[in-house]
Homo-oligomer: A and B are copies of this chain.
Amino acid sequence: MFTGLSAFPLTPLDDDRFDERAYARLVTRLVEAGVDSIGALGSTGSYAYLDRRERGRVARAAVRSAGDTPVIVGIGALRTSQVRALAQDAQEAGAAGVLLAPMSYQALTDDEVFGLYEDVTADLSVPLVVYDNPGTTHFTFSTELYARIAGLPNVAAIKIPPVPLDPDAAREHVAAIHRAVPEHVRIGVSGDGAAVTGLNAGGRVWFSTVGGTVPGIVTPLARAALDGDPAVAVAGSKRLRPLWDLFAAHGSLRVTAAIAEHLGLVAPHCLPRPVQGLAAAQRQRVARLVEELHLA
């Protein structure tokens, strides 16, 4: 399951309510594009903004539409007991794996984050992905902490932040993590603009934001990188550079939502307020990119 392209769909809202029909369409697109797994309720899926009941509905809808494609469900929350309840819900919904970021309000210590993973993995029966996203959690993992957590039962993969864009630096970075963790633990890369570099550096799975909406543009790049054709992957990612620049300027979530709204896949203003979509001028830029880069 933790290989290839793992596509993270938006959880589209319509007038602040979960838009289940649009979501089923998004997930079906991913299956048809042949992604290797689906990441429901990732950061792209706005997990942090949804309550337990909504998250249960999203998880069940994802599994229903995914068919044989494995679904990884995000279970992050601020309180350990909430995370455990969400893990239970995700497993009952049929999740093949779960994804856990150490969300924080009060800054957490390393021991507290380790304790979180220890408590949650203790009663888990599916594999867990450690989700390291300092931009949203404001927690920074050390390689030592990766190693401690990777030794816990059911820990199967680590979703790391964007690797350095220099290929040598990226390779050394991924290798250092590989040296620290047990051999069965996979390294997955995130940050779509740096993901090909990350795969070429030894990452085994690309956790993709834009791939959750327009899977056709990134799935072939993941294949090329993992099947021994790194130059093709690099060229493909380079072609998408204007998109990565837009991600860097406005955040991948807002840009991806604008793409989905432009393509009519979701209702306008599909993000949870207070998060707002892009302004009009930026949306025009997105519309032009959709044409120029054949995003659909």
List residues of chain A with CB under 8 Å of any chain B CB.
16, 43, 48-52, 78-82, 102-103, 105-109, 111-113, 115-116, 119, 135-136, 138, 251, 253, 272-276
Contact = CB atoms under 8 A, between A and B. Distances in A.
A49 B81 CA distance: 10
A256 to B, nearest CB: 12
Nearest to A138: B138
Nearest to A81: B16
A48 B105 contact: yes
Given A49-B79, A79-B49, A136 B105 contact: yes
Given A49-B79, A112-B274, A112-B276, 11 more contacts: A43-B106, A49-B78, A79-B272, A80-B273, A80-B274, A103-B105, A106-B251, A106-B253, A107-B251, A119-B273, A119-B274
Copies in the complex: 2
A109 B135 CA distance: 14
A49 B273 contact: no
B43 A274 contact: no
A273 B106 contact: no
Given A107-B135, A107-B251, A136-B106, A78 B115 contact: no
A276 B136 contact: no
Contacts of A251: 106-107
Contacts of A48: 78, 105
Contacts of A276: 109, 111-112, 115
Nearest to A105: B48
Closest A-B pairs by Cβ, 4 of them: A48-B105, A116-B274, A80-B273, A49-B79
A259 to B, nearest CB: 16
Contacts of A135: 107
A277 to B, nearest CB: 10
Contacts of A253: 106
A107 to B, nearest CB: 7
A50 B272 CA distance: 20
A101 to B, nearest CB: 9
Contact of A79 (B107, B108, B273): B273
Given A105-B103, A106-B43, A136-B105, A81 B119 contact: no
Contacts of A81: 16, 272-273
5 contacts: A79-B273, A103-B105, A111-B276, A112-B275, A138-B138
A102 B274 contact: yes
Residue of A50, A135, A274 contacting most chain B CB atoms (<10 Å)? A274
